[in-house]
Structure 1
């Protein structure tokens, strides 16, 4: 059969119509906006960094017997690092 056959032409037209309908109906999912991703990263920094610094500082204090000094130093350090990371995230362009 040649490419000019009516069945081949019909298959092409059906495929184009299905693709156009998928686009119109929104069947092809759009990727999430970058702004949502940045918000999630900020939230992770706000929660994760101080929590991690506090836990590590508490563990070091238990190990060395220096409570509350390692806890306080690492907690403050992790808050500063989280702030710096949040500043870097805020400088990215949300597209």
Structure 2
């Protein structure tokens, strides 16, 4: 390089060439950055998609366990109050298990909630009339 180009002084033809080179380099850099941003966005979306799945799993498992625990607790209290030891616990534990399964199915959307089922039945009755 000559001394004049190092001092920032450029001649006409080399200035046009350098602007074209800079423009080309800038375009390449922009394309590379767009690719990086797209990759980062895809990674961020995949990380976010795991969180709702974990939340749904925790919700379903807690509803199932809560049904069993409440059923067992009610059965244990009934046994101590009525003196019918293990029968109340067994019966209410099974009822709690069934309630837990029903809660999981409702939360997953497989079974309609009672209010929604009643509204659906009312609209079907109105359509039949």
TM-score scaled by length of structure 1 = 0.55
Q: What value does the CA root-mean-square deviation take over the aligned residues?
A: 2.4
After TM superposition, list the pairs within 5 Å mapping 1:56-75 onto structure 2: 56-75=74-93
Q: Do structure 1's residue 53 and structure 2's residue 67 form an aligned pair?
A: no
How far 1:84 sits from its partner (Å)?
Answer: 0.9
Q: Do structure 1's residue 44 and structure 2's residue 29 form an aligned pair?
A: no
How far 1:91 sits from its partner (Å)?
Answer: 2.3
TM-score scaled by length of structure 2 = 0.42
Which runs of structure 1 show a deviation greater than 4 angstroms over 4 or more consecutive aligned residues?
none
Larger relative contact order, structure 1 or 2 (CA cutoff 8 Å, min sep 6): 1
Distance (Å, rounded) in 2 between the aligned partners of 1:71 and 1:40: 26
> For residue 101 of structure 2, what is the aligned residue in structure 1?
83
Gaps in structure 1 of 5+ consecutive residues:
1-23
8 Å Cα contact 2:64/2:103 also seen in 1: no
Task: Count matched residues.
Answer: 65
1:67 is paired with a residue of what secondary structure?
coil
Say which one has the larger Rg: 2
Distance (Å, rounded) in 2 between the aligned partners of 1:36 and 1:64: 42
How far 1:33 sits from its partner (Å)?
Answer: 4.4
1:57 is paired with a residue of what secondary structure?
helix
